[in-house]
Structure 1
């Protein structure tokens, strides 16, 4: 039976991938809610704009009246909460925006959803029984992994290092509290580093790719040996739908790509892929420049995604190699999508240095 999904932050990088997957691969209806801040882009939803199963609502999750209206008008069966300020460097420069959106905004949304769900319990108990609130979070809430071994598990203690990670950890705690205190049927997922098409060019992979294409320096923090587990955004979207539809209420699931690489390795691979597509006398590896590390930079993240594989049968389809190839090809073929942002909203400047210590 077709359900109605309400996706907050659905014009963002991961959110738009979820919306596109829902419309392309399922019979479900989708209501996209997005404030359209600097990183939100309606062009990321062009593929679904004409679908009769998709609606877009411009609204702020921190606006209680707006959220109550959206819930009443569209009566979702699933709320997938992806709206968030998400760039660590920007959180260093201005943490207040992250607290407002990720913490206060999540609390407002939870209260609006709780009121809606109580109404369902009173008048539509069958619909209330299948309702889910899905909090989409990050592995960064766990902080730094010591050394080259070990993985974060669903029971790992939170130890966030950045204002961004702390704000997401706070949101997770609120979601768990609303589940425990009020019985709201919640799910939480933690993902590793996402990459792929439609990613705002402040993040590592599109920034380096576009800088290399233009012959600009490729600034790597510190020694470039920070290790991340890389997850293709379309694999992530498929996993999120699996959890939302089949996950056990109250549970947490880790979603990882199983592809640990250092930032330097990733950038070198991007250079080689670009060189193969746009041959140049000078390799863009020569453009790699090591710059002062950002404050509080975690050295390594890696997560154990065994639970979602065992319980829900999800595993990633993309390897890092196949995913990077398709990502490079997408950015080269879709200049119209990123050019305006590159020239207007973000020109590639260094972020994350305000009031830095050490």
Structure 2
């Protein structure tokens, strides 16, 4: 028994000294029974927007599956970068997650010089949730029924055509800048403070065109207020199968696919990441979720954490090139 007493004494001494017990591999506390308490999800934008809607939808499904509440915390500001910085600095225990997106994960690293986090280094990509199809809408007075004709008009009279965006450095602006870069066309940028006022002026004829959510462009195209001539994804959208992609329209290499996904701080245990990913992927297959995403005009994008991380790295490179070519810069 002296040996047992000595071992216990050493163990107690380590605890008193502040050293935690050494756990066998794969047996860390909380890993096997995760989750055993509420989760916190940071949504880095104000309530009511796409991030918030998707975040609450995912949170509700996790609650239904695990019986643990997912508390949504809206931490908006500076294009979603404030909330993402909070998420990056949270404990890496799997109980602190966030709903990120292309803008604050893939675009922000190139747009802002003083970003408080490194998307690839400081965050764990858990699960891609949804892709937001984008479409090019032009006012019917513009003499172009397809992308080739639009580019021809722009090249024939440089600076004649203009495009609206929801702001400098926004996804709609970057999508248009990629169009300009690949086509060599000179099209004037007219930035707005938000998608709604920008699209309103395109519909009224104050501005010639805009790249925006397919669901918004389609709404006006169906009543003849806009002409939807292309989608920006790698393949045609199920919501508008008759509309060609930019690549099909002659712009080889053109792909803009904005997305939203669940992330967490770097260092979350692998088994917890996999459990979270499996739960979210399963939720995306639920009939009510599929229906909700369809109503929003979004497309589910289930996949592995590795696929999500690869998407992030690819898009960081893509948007860095667009930002550099266009000479865009932001301030924090």
Q: TM-score, normalised by structure 2?
A: 0.33
Q: TM-score, normalised by structure 1?
A: 0.31
User: RCO greater where, 1 or 2, for CA within 8 Å and sep 6 or more?
Assistant: 2
